Amino acid sequence: MSPMCVADDGGALSDLATSRFVHCAFYRHYDTDPQTGDPLLVESEGNALMYFEDIDISHARAREIYTHIAGQRSVTVIQTSKALHFIDNVSGMYIMTTIYSCLDYNEHGKCVTYGAVNSTLFDPAVLTEPDRVYEKIRTDADLGFCDRSFIGVQEAAHHPR
């Protein structure tokens, strides 16, 4: 299925927002499917991995581990009718991960793979109007996918050692 940005009914995203762990991978290089013209993931061309845990929509917060920044970080999470946005404020620079739709369902009708984009930007409107900002950056952002994290992953320590 194409990782193009499509609308979702919100149900699959609401379900993901209640997950214990979310894993995302983003890629800068894609091949093109000769039959459909859709972008295809190029193995070993990954740019970044992100893990989110303790997602709390009601308090607009989550924790993340991002392969481009050392350590665990607290991030803002905003769920809209269109997307689930994770926003990391790094001294006025924002790293926005937007999960926008379900790409693949299992045999029980549960979404197992979600379309996502990741971008670095300097627009503070990302904290108040994330859907509008997403619409501006989505074609230039790194494409990727998210899923519920892997079996055996353990929650990060709440307190540094």
- Whether 107 maps to a domain, the answer reads yes
Please give the pLDDT value at position 7: 42
- The per-residue pLDDT for 130 is 96
Q: Does some domain include residue 45?
A: yes
The answer to the question of residue 47 being in a domain is: yes
Given this model, what pLDDT does residue 40 score?
65
Q: What is the tens place of the pLDDT at every residue in 63-85?
A: 998 878 877 889 999 999 999 99
Is residue 154 one of the residues assigned to a domain?
no
Q: Which residues of the chain have pLDDT under 50?
A: 1-8, 151-153
Please give the tally of structural domains in the chain: 1
Per-residue pLDDT tens over the stretch 100-119? 999 888 888 888 889 999 99
pLDDT of residue 3: 40
158 in a structural domain: no
**DSSP conformation letters of 96-137:** EEEEEEEEEE-TTS-EEEEEEEEEEE--GGGGT-HHHHHHHH
Q: What is the pLDDT of residue 63?
A: 92
Structural domain containing residue 83: 11-148
**C-alpha span between 52 and 21 (Å, rounded):** 6
Residue 129 is assigned to a structural domain of this protein: yes
pLDDT given for residue 1 in this prediction: 36
Q: Which residue in 136, 100, 144 sits closest to 118, CA to CA?
A: 144
pLDDT value of residue 38:
74
Residue 159 in any domain: the answer is: no
Any domain includes 6: no
| Predicted local confidence at residue 49, as pLDDT | 85
